[in-house]
Amino acid sequence: MKESPFVKIFEDAANLVSGSKLKITRKSNLFYQLYLDNHLNLCINDTRNPKRGNSAFQVDLCIFQNSKNNTLIPRIAIEFKTKITTHDILTYSSKAGKHKNIYPFLRYGMIASDIENIPGRFFIHNDHIDFMIAAKAYKGESKLLDFVKELIDEELNISYTLENIHFKNKKYDYYRKDIVFKNFKE
């Protein structure tokens, strides 16, 4: 299925609410594998600039954090569709899993712009997509900015927590996977 024209609307809203520490980019390339040769050298020369077709998949929209040394850290990857099929769910769930092996702090989601409810097949076939939004009701200007801001803020907070666990030795004594079902601000 074709990419939803909603991606441009979402991108514009994300740029309005994101602040200077974030960069929103369409058609970004993210690694799905990094591997070593038979001499244990990394086979990718430039890890800061993934190239599609060279161990990288393209995502519709990615929200990056600008780091101190001008490295763009992928925080939220989003695929946009008008509607979703079982094939979409299987394909993007697999892509999400591969990206998260490289970027364990990455949040990966899908937004379907022309559906009102998430179909049951999503819950059956999804393994790695972190959020799914049936966005038909959120395309109007009155809800869009609040919706985009809340989504970015919540997913960034989770991404930072995952980064702290994986790379900053943050320790916790309690874990619970939260599954949130709701309608955005009724």
Number of H helices, E strands in the chain: 4, 5
Asked if residue 152 is part of any domain, the answer here is: yes
* 102-158: pLDDT as tens digits: 999 999 999 999 999 999 999 999 999 999 999 988 877 667 888 898 899 999 999
Asked if residue 178 is part of any domain, the answer here is: no
Buried b (16+ CB within 10 A) or exposed e, 118-152: bbeebeebbeebbbbbbbbebeeeeebeebbeebb
| pLDDT at residue 142 in the model | 67
Three-point CA angle 15, 140, 89, nearest 5° = 75
Cα separation, 68 vs 164, whole angstroms: 17
The answer to whether residue 28 scores a pLDDT higher than 70 is yes
Residues of the chain with pLDDT > 90: what percent?
A: 56
Which residue's entry shows tokens 């985009």? 148
Asked if residue 117 is part of any domain, the answer here is: yes
Domain region containing 48:
6-167
Q: What is the DSSP letter of 114?
A: T
* Confidence tier at 185 by pLDDT (50, 70, 90): low
Cα separation, 81 vs 39, whole angstroms: 42
Asked if residue 31 is part of any domain, the answer here is: yes
Asked if residue 135 is part of any domain, the answer here is: yes
What is the pLDDT averaged over residues 153-164? 93
* Of 57, 69, 62, 80, residue with least CA distance to 22: 62
Higher pLDDT, 100 or 45: 100
Average pLDDT, the chain: 89
Asked if residue 179 is part of any domain, the answer here is: no
Asked if residue 175 is part of any domain, the answer here is: no
Q: Quote the number of domains for the chain.
A: 1
| pLDDT at residue 1 in the model | 45
Cα separation, 52 vs 57, whole angstroms: 5
| pLDDT at residue 120 in the model | 95
* 65-84: pLDDT as tens digits: 988 788 899 999 999 999 99
Beta bridge partners of residue 23, listed in sequence order: 64
Asked if residue 185 is part of any domain, the answer here is: no
* Confidence tier at 27 by pLDDT (50, 70, 90): very high
In terms of pTM, does the model score above 0.85? yes
CATH for 119:
3.40.1350
What's the half-sphere exposure (Cβ side, CA atoms, 13 Å) at 32? 19
